[in-house]
Amino acid sequence: MDTTLHDPLVGQVLDGRYRVDARIAVGGMATVYRAVDTRLDRVLALKVMHPSLAADASFVERFIREAKSVARLAHPNVVGVFDQGAQDQYVYLAMEYVAGCTLRDVLRERGALQPRAALDILEPVLAALGAAHRAGFVHRDMKPENVLIGDDGRVKVADFGLVRAVDSVTSTTGSVLGTVSYLAPEQIEHGTCDTRADVYACGVVLYEMLTGTKPHSGDTPAQILYAHLHEGVPAPSAAVPGLALELDELVASATARNPEARPHDAVALLARTRTARAALADEQLDAVPPGARTAPAASGPGSEDRTSVIPRAVATPTGPAATPLPPEHAHEASLNRTSRLIMPQRIEEEPEPAPRAPRRRGANRRALIAVVAALVMILGVGAGVWYINSGQFTHVPALIGQSEDAAKKKLSNAGLGVKKVEGQFSDTVERGQVIGTDPATGARIRGNGSVTLVVSRGPETAQVPKLDGMPLDQAKSELHKAGFAPGDTSAEFNASVAQGSVIRTSPAAGVKRHTDTAVALVVSKGAPIDVPSVVGDTVDAATSALQGAGLKVVVAPDQVNSPQDAGKVAAQSAAEHAQLAQGDTVTLTVSKGPRMITVPTVTGQKAADAQKALEGAGFKVKVDRSFPFLSDEVSGQSVNGGAQAPEGSTITITTKGL
């Protein structure tokens, strides 16, 4: 059934520009449509936030952040963002349209892929994420649904809807956004998320491509989350015997439960991937060993494949059976409650039985605590009791007004760690200074505890600073201080602004913009230099003329034959009257003299035929017709046939007379 018939947006024109033609896909936060930009007459994808979320400022901010973040990533493997806007209750992104399918479609249809195909898909994905990571962003929702494969074979990463800056993403106290099958353990347990969370998700995607199945499965999302926390991703060869050891090691490296053991970002994982590929023989790359899942999946995408808001806080059960849970079951109960909150259609009526392993660990822990408590009571060790009740606590030092680095150092000196760093706009506190902590200053905290730092991002909007005439490095520094990001840098000639200094910015100085906006810089190349012609000059003379004009000179190592005399300049890299900037380089090619070639014999030929033969051999021709009315037959030539003459030299032919 064509569900687009019931979609009120299909057929409408947003912002008087984007005509919505058809619905492509529906996600957790937005719907994607195929549309036409009527102004530029091109097909594009329109990502429209669900109206129910458009009233939530945090979701709108995340949506707009996606547009800004991806707009900075000019990479062939990232789906480009063209525009962002809003009309009535519709907030949208105008994006590149990729005709093709998703990696999820491929896996659902084909099952496991050959290792070569899996690596051919993984490498451009890692290249795209590597560009994002090196630009300071984390994707946070890598999965096969967000890998697009065009009809032309190009691979692109889409849906940066959860993207956050690396230095602003540390943890969240209440919930985590993501897709359960691809969440890293630290995202589930602590909410921490940096580039290594994307690396973990890519490792899971690689496992799925090699085996046709996800590494962790369960009847509920809670069971999958529990497996990510407590079980390592198995080796692909355990499911598909015969897969190369290098592929097992690659998956193990990317999906290490300890983030410190993973490659630090997608660029590092890409390097390991290429090393692993180089170690594999063609038969290892092209074979799908027995055991891989090749049959299509029986059902559509499950709820564990959807991007969801997953609460992390442990709630107390309510109702007549609200009995406090023992510690060993509290975490599992929290996960099961999580699944009921986000995916009620997948929850069975009967509660899931508790896993046995956690019960044994909990029992051992309780027994150990009981033994320690009994020993303390029997021995009456007063110092130990003091430590348990007081000595292991300290107080949060005063950090407000200090720089982020100074605050971290002071916490370290106090034996405390940094749980996360949050940015917050402030009209009164200078950008980069601490404006608050959690716990607050002076609060009681365990001696090895962690503190959340709230750091000023400066005003939410600021004026673009005046940078005209400022050297480029200094201008970029001033942009950072004002809260802006340096954007594209271009150069043009300008006689009134010193070379390497800023001519203007876009937006212009004084214009108010949201902080973190990219500001483009136009830099002066100085006054243009008119390049003189030095062909035919000696190398010394040519060098002197060019350097006198303010240019640098390089002499090519190889000489060439040319009509110029040996040792003279045969060619220059910048043509006469071309415009260069001061300090630009001109390369000179030196002549080794003309090439000597054999002169054809043309005596007795018609003058026209003789001229054609000589010019075809590389000579210039002069015809001496003393008695043109008597005969047109060549009676002589200035250089005899069979002799050698310089290429390009002139041969004179004479026609017969009386």
Amino acid at 624: D
- Strands in 417-424's sheet, in edge-to-edge order, are 417-424, 450-456, 434-438
Task: Give, as one character, the DSSP assignment of residue 5.
Answer: G
Yes or no: say if 128 and 156 are a contact pair by the CB < 8 Å rule.
yes
Contact (CB, 8 A) for 104 and 111: no
CA distance 551 to 556: 16
| Residue 261 token pair | 């053991």
Contact (Cβ atoms closer than 8 angstroms) between residue 457 and residue 424:
yes
CB 655 within 8 A of CB 625: yes
Taking alpha carbons only, the member of 309, 307, 28 closest to residue 174 is 309
Interhelix angle 115-134/266-278, nearest 10 degrees:
150
Q: Do 136 and 167 touch, CB atoms closer than 8 A?
A: yes
Q: Is 214 left (phi over 0), alpha (psi -120 to 50) or beta?
A: beta
2, 21, 41, 141: the active-site residue: 141
Helix (H/G/I), strand (E/B), else coil: 447:
coil
The position carrying tokens 């529990």 is 226
Going by their DSSP bridges, the two strands 620-624 and 650-655 should be labelled as parallel
With contact defined as beta carbons under 8 Å apart, do 646 and 564 qualify? no
Q: Is 141 a catalytic residue?
A: yes
Q: Are 456 and 470 in contact (CB under 8 A)?
A: no
Which residue reads 């999946």 in tokens? 297
Give Cβ neighbours of residue 221 (< 8 Å, ≥ 6 apart).
Answer: 180, 303, 304, 310, 335, 338, 339, 342, 343, 346
345 vs 135, 176, 188, 323, 618, CA distance in Å?
A: 39, 20, 22, 25, 85
Cα–Cα distance between 307 and 537 in angstroms, integer? 70
- Give the C-alpha distances (Å, rounded to integers) separating 214 from 223, 268, 305: 13, 24, 11
d(CA 97, CA 233): 34
Q: For residue 513, with 0-12 CB atoms within 10 Å meaning exposed, 13-18 middle and 19 or more buried, which class applies?
A: middle
What SS3 class is residue 276? Answer: helix
Contacts of 35 by beta carbon, 8 Å cutoff, 6+ apart:
14, 18, 19, 20, 21, 43, 44, 45, 46, 94
Place of tokens 């032309």: 152
Q: Determine contact, residues 446/478, Cβ cutoff 8 Å.
A: no
Report how far residue 255's alpha carbon sits from residue 243's, in angstroms, rounded to the nearest whole number. 17
Distance CA 63, CA 163 (A): 9
Best CA proximity match to 159, nearest among 341, 25, 20: 25
Peptide bond into 439 cis (omega under 30): yes
What angle separates helix 327-342 from helix 356-379, to the nearest 10 degrees? 140
Contacting residues for 320 by C-beta, under 8 A, at least 6 apart:
none
Q: Which residues are catalytic?
A: 141
